[in-house]
Each structure stands twice: as structure tokens, then as C-alpha cells.
């Protein structure tokens, strides 16, 4: 994403979603991923896997102009990582407004991933000899420097891949040769679509691979054109054997768009967003950055750029904001409970059920569980009502209570204490996320 208004239909290729056009053109139906074995991890690892994109480094637009109102919402969201742009000019100093904003974000215990644009970008480029200044003026709050955002190689396939690789090599060398920067991670550029096969192998010039796996109107676990693993596989030759970051991922709700990046409703966005973050984590994506914190432009049902935000352009919260905030808050909650080895096992198999086991620092066990099925029919524009299937499960390990936290399409979360029945427990599983809290 470049945060700009669409230029022309023929250029709307930024989000890896021409495959979605195949759905409309061929009638191909997206299918559902089979449930995988439950992933076991701790909540701190999951919290570290979630980020959000912003444009606070710009000098105009909603992000700088309403920063004082956005920052509290960013803090309330509970995200620990922000991806922003490496925009710095010759006049910038430590006291420039851009760096005052970024330092306030860092002071809120949010760490930065900074995009370093190359000279293939027709609008901006990041001077690599200013990266040390950028780092210092952010009070050392940068943890990752990222290669250029969605470089276009197809316009000059003979030269652009080499120029892009040279920029990445220069970025990597700058970071590694600067003492106060050399412990930071370097992320590969985020090539997309037909640019991917033109890109060179950058494994020795990065610590992380980089994808933008937008699923369009598909559900997060689809095995159709927007399948997460297809993005990973396509980009694997660029940074083989490197862990992967999804530096942009998300959904828009501009229902009258003419682009091939198809929409969902606000309710479906709220249903899908927490599943998307958990699915990426379970699939081995090291970190996923939601695009974006605030919709960059005023509402326009034809323009996707006006509705990606967790906050609307007027800064009101979307249901997806509330859903993400609730999930992260639950991972940070604390109960009066003794540490114990706890485990939840579902008694019957369901190929569409996905679950994870996340251990919280207080000793509680969180088990996110959901049905990996679609909730949205496009282009019919039909929201499927939440599906429900009863599932029995057992719990091993000392525990006093089990609470089911059910996420709803309006962003709300309801709680229900689950009582034992004849030695087991029963839960109505749904394509709306439920998180079991066992303590």
C-alpha cells in the first residue's frame, strides 16, 4: 500500500489480488483450509507477532494532522509494533514535528519498523546516509529497517531487479557497518504479484522475508486464490530460509469498488480480523502488520483506500478495532491462579475447526478456537450468519474455571462460564472466534 488514491484501474496491482479476479471470471470458489494440529506457544509470542501500519512520518494527511487524537487510540489498541515510512529530508532535525511524533509513539512502548524506499519509487526515496539520524531521533525505538515497499520491477525488467537488489544490499551494508544500528533486523522488500518472479535472491541481504498476503473478500484460512501459503511459496526464492513478515495484511469495506481488490462488510471484517492474526501466527508468520491504523481518506464506497483502517477517517472505532483490541487485551489479562500444566483436547475431530494453545504469564491457558469457513458471499453481497457446531472437550491439569469469550461481528465480546457435564465440557464453536480461558 502506498496510501495514495488509486491512479488508474490498470495500475491497481498492489495487493496480490488479481487472483481474486479469477474467482469472478472463472467461477472458481474459494475453499476452506483443513484444521491443522493445535499450535502451542505463549501469549507473549503472539503479542509480539501483531503490528499495525501507519503514516505518522508524513507531513500532511490525517495521521499528522490528528496525531493527538490518534495516539491514545493506538495505545488503547494494545499493539506493540508500528510500521511507518523512512521519510526524512535535508531540513529535518531532531525537533522536527515528524520526529516529535515518532518519539511519542516510542515513549508509549511501541517499536518501529521503518520502510526505506529505493529510487524505483516515483515519489520518495530514503537517503541511507540518514538512517543513523533517523534512529537517534526516534530515541532508539526502531527495531527493523525494511527494504522498499512494493517495488515495481515489471516496467523495466532488464534493469529494475538489479537496481532493487543493489538498494537492498546498500541498506544491509549501511545497517551492518554502523555500530549503533548493526544489531537491528533488516527486512527484504515487499515485492508483489508479477514483480515477484523478477526479483533476485536477497537472502544474504536480509534477516526476514516479506509478503503482503491480502486475501481480498476471502476468509483468512482459504485454500482458494488468496491462500496465505501461496504468498509464502511464491516469495520463497527471494529470501529462502529466512523467517517471514507480513508487513501488510487486512480488509477494506468499500462495497462499491470497481477494483479487483474485493471488499467485505464491516461486520465480516470484524469476524475475520482476529482469525487472520491467529492464522498467520499458527502458520509461522513471524509478524503481521494490519493495514492500516486509520483510513487515510474520507469515506468513499468506490475507493478501497478509504476503508482499510481500524479507525475510520473521522477516528471513530470500527468493529474490527474492537475485536483486535479485545483479543490483545485478553492475552494481557491477569487472574489469581496458580501456575499449572493445563491442556484442552477436543474429543471429536472437525476438519474445519482450528485451535491454538497459548499460555499466559499468570499461568492461565487461552485456547482460541473457530471454524475456518467463509462468512461472506461476493459478488452476491450476502453475509452468512455465524455458523455453530457443538464441540465436546476435556481439560487436564488443575483448574477452577473455564470462561468462553465469544467475539461478535459488532466488535463486542460476551463471556460464558462453561460447566462440566459428565466429565467433559461442551462449547458451541463458530466461525466467530471463541477464546477459552482456563485458570
Q: Are 155 and 164 in contact (CB under 8 A)?
A: no
Give the per-residue pLDDT at 14: 35
Backbone angles phi, psi at 336, to 5 degrees: -85, 90
In this prediction, residues 13-41 reach a mean pLDDT of 44
Q: Model confidence over 261-303: pLDDT tens digits?
A: 999 999 999 999 999 999 999 999 999 999 999 999 998 999 9
Determine what percent of the chain is predicted with pLDDT higher than 90. Answer: 89
Q: Model confidence over 195-249: pLDDT tens digits?
A: 999 999 999 999 999 999 999 999 999 999 999 999 999 999 999 999 999 999 9
Q: Are 9 and 21 in contact (CB under 8 A)?
A: no
pLDDT grade, residue 339 (50/70/90)? confident
In this prediction, residues 313-325 reach a mean pLDDT of 98
In this prediction, residues 403-409 reach a mean pLDDT of 98
pLDDT of 103 above 50 = yes
246, 198, 164, 54: CA torsion to nearest 10: -30
In this prediction, residues 71-79 reach a mean pLDDT of 98
Give the per-residue pLDDT at 338: 84
Give the per-residue pLDDT at 36: 52
Query: What whole-number distance in Å separates Cα of residue 66 and Cα of residue 292?
Result: 15
Kind of pairing between the strands at 402-407 and 434-438: antiparallel
pLDDT grade, residue 316 (50/70/90)? very high
pLDDT grade, residue 133 (50/70/90)? very high
Query: What whole-number distance in Å separates Cα of residue 151 and Cα of residue 118?
Result: 8
Q: Are 356 and 37 in contact (CB under 8 A)?
A: no
Instruction: Report which DSSP code applies to 85.
Output: E
pLDDT of 24 above 90 = no
In this prediction, residues 36-57 reach a mean pLDDT of 92
pLDDT grade, residue 20 (50/70/90)? very low
Evaluated on CA atoms 348, 349, 355, 356, the torsion sign reads positive
Query: What whole-number distance in Å separates Cα of residue 306 and Cα of residue 370?
Result: 29
pLDDT of 13 above 80 = no
pLDDT of 23 above 60 = no
Give the per-residue pLDDT at 136: 98
Specify the 3-state DSSP secondary structure of 72.
Answer: helix
- Residue 70: which of 56, 83, 57 has the closest Cα? 56
Q: Are 438 and 395 in contact (CB under 8 A)?
A: yes
Kind of pairing between the strands at 434-438 and 425-430: unpaired
pLDDT of 6 above 70 = no
Residues listed for the chain: 439
pLDDT grade, residue 33 (50/70/90)? very low
In this prediction, residues 244-258 reach a mean pLDDT of 97
Backbone angles phi, psi at 329, to 5 degrees: -65, -40
pTM of model > 0.85: yes
Instruction: Report which DSSP code applies to 178.
Output: S
Amino acid at each position: 500500500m502506498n496510501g495514495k488514491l488509486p491512479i488508474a484501474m490498470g495500475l491497481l496491482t498492489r495487493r496480490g489480488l488479481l487472483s481474486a479476479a479469477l474467482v469472478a471470471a472463472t467461477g472458481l470458489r474459494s475453499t476452506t483450509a483443513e484444521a491443522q494440529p493445535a499450535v502451542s506457544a505463549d501469549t507473549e509470542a503472539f503479542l509480539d507477532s501483531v503490528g499495525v501500519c501507519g503514516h505518522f512520518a508524513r507531513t500532511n494527511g490525517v495521521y499528522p494532522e490528528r496525531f493527538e487524537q490518534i495516539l491514545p487510540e493506538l495505545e488503547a489498541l494494545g499493539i506493540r509494533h508500528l510500521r511507518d515510512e523512512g521519510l526524512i529530508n535535508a531540513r529535518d532535525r531532531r525537533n522536527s514535528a515528524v520526529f516529535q511524533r515518532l518519539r511519542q509513539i516510542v515513549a508509549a512502548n511501541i517499536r518501529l519498523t521503518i520502510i526505506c524506499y529505493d529510487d524505483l519509487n516515483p515519489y520518495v526515496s530514503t537517503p541511507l546516509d540518514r538512517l543513523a539520524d533517523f534512529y537517534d531521533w526516534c530515541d532508539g525505538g526502531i527495531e527493523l529497517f525494511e527494504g522498499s515497499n512494493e517495488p515495481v520491477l515489471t516496467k523495466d525488467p532488464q534493469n529494475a531487479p538489479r537496481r532493487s537488489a543493489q538498494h537492498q544490499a546498500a541498506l544491509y551494508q549501511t545497517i551492518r557497518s554502523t555500530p549503533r544500528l548493526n544489531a537491528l533486523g533488516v527486512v527484504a522488500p515487499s515485492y508483489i504479484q508479477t514483480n515477484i518472479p523478477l526479483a533476485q535472491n536477497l537472502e544474504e541481504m536480509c534477516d526476514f522475508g516479506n509478503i503482503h498476503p491480502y486475501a481480498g473478500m476471502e476468509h483468512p484460512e482459504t485454500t482458494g486464490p488468496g491462500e496465505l501459503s501461496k504468498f509464502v511459496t511464491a516469495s520463497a526464492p527471494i529470501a529462502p530460509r529466512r523467517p517471514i513478515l507480513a508487513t501488510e495484511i487486512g480488509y477494506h469495506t468499500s462495497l462499491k469498488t470497481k477494483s479487483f481488490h474485493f471488499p467485505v462488510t464491516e461486520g465480516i471484517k470484524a469476524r475475520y480480523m482476529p482469525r487472520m492474526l491467529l492464522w498467520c501466527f499458527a502458520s509461522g508468520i513471524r509478524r503481521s502488520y494490519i493495514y492500516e491504523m486509520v483510513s487515510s481518506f474520507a469515506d468513499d464506497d468506490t475507493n478501497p483506500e478509504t476503508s482499510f483502517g481500524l479507525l475510520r477517517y473521522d477516528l471513530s472505532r470500527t468493529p474490527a478495532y474492537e475485536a483486535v483490541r479485545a483479543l490483545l487485551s485478553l492475552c494481557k489479562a491477569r487472574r489469581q491462579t496458580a501456575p499449572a500444566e493445563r491442556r484442552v483436547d477436543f474429543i471429536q475431530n472437525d476438519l474445519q475447526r482450528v485451535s491454538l494453545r497459548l499460555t499466559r504469564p499468570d499461568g492461565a491457558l487461552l485456547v482460541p478456537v473457530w471454524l475456518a469457513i467463509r462468512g461472506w458471499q461476493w459478488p452476491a453481497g450476502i453475509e452468512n450468519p455465524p455458523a455453530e457446531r457443538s464441540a465436546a472437550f476435556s481439560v487436564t491439569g488443575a483448574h477452577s474455571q473455564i470462561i468462553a469469550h465469544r467475539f461478535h461481528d459488532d466488535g463486542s465480546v460476551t463471556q460464558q462460564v462453561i460447566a462440566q457435564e459428565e466429565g467433559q465440557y461442551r462449547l458451541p464453536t463458530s466461525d466467530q472466534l471463541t477464546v477459552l480461558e482456563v485458570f
